[in-house]
Structure 1
């Protein structure tokens, strides 16, 4: 079985106001051939916004970036990796806690080794959101763009691991989706003449919940 949660109708407004954070854990089969056999899952794969962007925005043309000091002052090597943090971000802690690897790398702008591909990457882009308008405002990767990169990534993993092992990796991995806060802070409330004309707040919260559900499906 897998565990999946989305807010009920009565709680969607509260969920949207805090940003939407979804963890989808797919089944683990004993036949899986993990790179690290002590790990709880073979890989961690992430989509979302700045909360879990490890540096994808470094590789695109956008003002939403943090590849400069003082970002990264507490990160390994004390350098600004592109994480919107002075140190590790949530997906780093998740991957480390599950025994997969210490840091979850960005898919873009990173020299990924075969073992990096096999144990997961992040496609998250700071400033993105479930509303298609949100990433356009600051020229970052939309959730659809991230999904396209994921499809490309799947082919790269198949090239490294072969079809059977790749299928095992993708079916058993932990998928993390974290988005929604930018839809509110940088879209709905920042540009009230756009979305507020179409949606009151409960309606917009429901729109985000439906978009989140559609993305995961």
Structure 2
């Protein structure tokens, strides 16, 4: 048989491809600006954990996800991607962060990004009890479990590096007020609104210190949105012509001010901690609601799904003939959650700040 000469460069190229295929995880981490994005919180950042628990608060069906990659309803409370997905992509990782409880994924996926968030949860454990979702303390337990799996997968030293260098996204609090304090009387009987804010701040501080003790160093904390302007709150504000509820917005601003103060103190108390409070989210979303045309929207008062006034989760039915055809015209997807376009605008605004703070 005639001997075929294979150029050395071709052999080398083939070996490189083989190594990259065998070590795709290591390659993706080297190419990325951070090793992983790790997410805690509520429906604003839940990638589908609620799909796997017994709760009425789910979104793993159309029309949710109709504009997601492949048109698949993942359990994200939007027509498409949510902020952690955009942050992950911007830091050189994949374009979506998987839910920890999603059986489609395992530690090979979670090593570069994982979401522990649960729609309907809050700082207060009583909030998670309302719709039987994952409480914040349980999200931490899942994180500890994840750490054990990560150490087994990449080794203790590499795992410690990933956990210290990862970007952590934390977003919750709205449900504590809207779903818990104002709807059910238990907390209102115990606390004034100011006292309840301080109660939640205490939980938030303890949670962030716990994350720090478990290795987290780069944390982005998102405050409350202008919750009085959510379509659901406007729909119930019938005595003021369905305008934004200024009382609820005032509560959000007060709570955000307290979160900001707490952030400053924790950065001083905890060596090596880079805790970023993204306070501009409130103003940005409020701007979209008040001047939608400036951001390329047509509708801000009601949502895309069905009548756009009170529907979310199972009430946001694919059978409804009222659901809008183009979600890009709307600030809100359902009565509580932003559209993918809104999430993209917010994320694009935040990402430069996160890069400035975390890439050092």
TM-score, normalised to structure 2's length?
0.50
Q: Which has the larger radius of gyration?
A: 2
Indicate if the aligned counterparts of 1:34 and 1:169 stay in contact, CA closer than 8 A: no
1:195 matched to 2:217? The reply is no
Q: Which has the higher helix share?
A: 2
CA deviation after TM superposition for structure 1 residue 77, in Å:
0.9
2:111 corresponds to: 118
Give the whole-Å Cα distance in 2 for the aligned partners of 1:35 and 1:72: 26
Indicate if the aligned counterparts of 1:57 and 1:64 stay in contact, CA closer than 8 A: yes
CA deviation after TM superposition for structure 1 residue 82, in Å:
0.4
CA deviation after TM superposition for structure 1 residue 132, in Å:
1.0
Gaps of 5+ in 1: 1-32
SS of the equivalent of 1:177 reads: strand
Equivalent of 1:209 in 201, 216, 220 = 201
Indicate if the aligned counterparts of 2:66 and 2:72 stay in contact, CA closer than 8 A: yes
Give the whole-Å Cα distance in 2 for the aligned partners of 1:34 and 1:202: 49
CA deviation after TM superposition for structure 1 residue 113, in Å:
4.1
Which runs of 4 or more aligned residues in structure 1 lie more than 6 Å from their structure 2 counterparts after TM superposition? none
Count of residue correspondences: 184
Indicate if the aligned counterparts of 1:58 and 1:67 stay in contact, CA closer than 8 A: yes
Equivalent of 2:39 in 16, 22, 46 = 46
Give the whole-Å Cα distance in 2 for the aligned partners of 1:71 and 1:116: 23
1:137 and 1:114, CA in 2 relative to 1: closer, same or farther beyond 3 A?
Answer: closer
2:129 corresponds to: 136
Structure with more relative contact order (C-alpha pairs < 8 Å, separation 6 or more): 1
Give the whole-Å Cα distance in 1 for the aligned partners of 2:164 and 2:182: 38
Gaps of 5+ in 2: 1-25, 210-360
1:164 matched to 2:161? The reply is no
CA deviation after TM superposition for structure 1 residue 115, in Å:
3.3
* C-alpha RMSD of matched pairs (Å): 1.3
Give the whole-Å Cα distance in 1 for the aligned partners of 2:166 and 2:149: 16
Q: Deviations over 1:37-60 (max 9, x none)?
A: 232210011111000000000000
Give the whole-Å Cα distance in 2 for the aligned partners of 1:34 and 1:135: 39
Give the whole-Å Cα distance in 2 for the aligned partners of 1:45 and 1:174: 6
SS of the equivalent of 2:206 reads: helix
2:255 corresponds to: none
TM-score, normalised to structure 1's length?
0.82
